[in-house]
Amino acid sequence: GQSLEQPSEVTAVEGAIVQINCTYQTSGFYGLSWYQQHDGGAPTFLSYNALDGLEETGRFSSFLSRSDSYGYLLLQELQMKDSASYFCAVRTGNTGKLIFGQGTTLQVKP
């Protein structure tokens, strides 16, 4: 089977740093994506990693280790508006077919 594992909930305080991990077992792997979804809203794209290493985009960074089938999303200088669900997703082939994790609900407290 194909599966992605990520923690169901994470809590952090405003201004802190939080890391959301994602491990995957899939039949194919082309890259790992991260999406943010506020309650009741549409997911929005955050990052895509095809190669090992760290990609930084503003306060958000994403890391991938293909040999470990592992990645993480790092959020720095947390703000209240970062409270949302975060999904990792694996692109399994040369199309846009994605398999999503169950999501991690991040709660940022004052």
Q: Which residues bind another protein (CB under 8 A)?
A: 4, 30-31, 33, 41-45, 48, 50, 87, 89, 91, 94-103
Smallest gap from Cβ 40 to another protein, in A, equals 8
Smallest gap from Cβ 96 to another protein, in A, equals 2
Nearer to another protein, 22 or 78 (CB): 22
Nearer to another protein, 28 or 41 (CB): 41
Asked if 26 and 48 touch (Cβ cutoff 8 Å), the reply is: no
Smallest gap from Cβ 86 to another protein, in A, equals 11
| Cα–Cα distance measured from residue 86 to residue 37, given in angstroms and rounded to the nearest whole number | 6
Tokens of 11: 């809590």
Q: Helices H, strands E: what count in the chain?
A: 0, 11
Residue 81 DSSP one-character state: G
Nearer to another protein, 67 or 94 (CB): 94
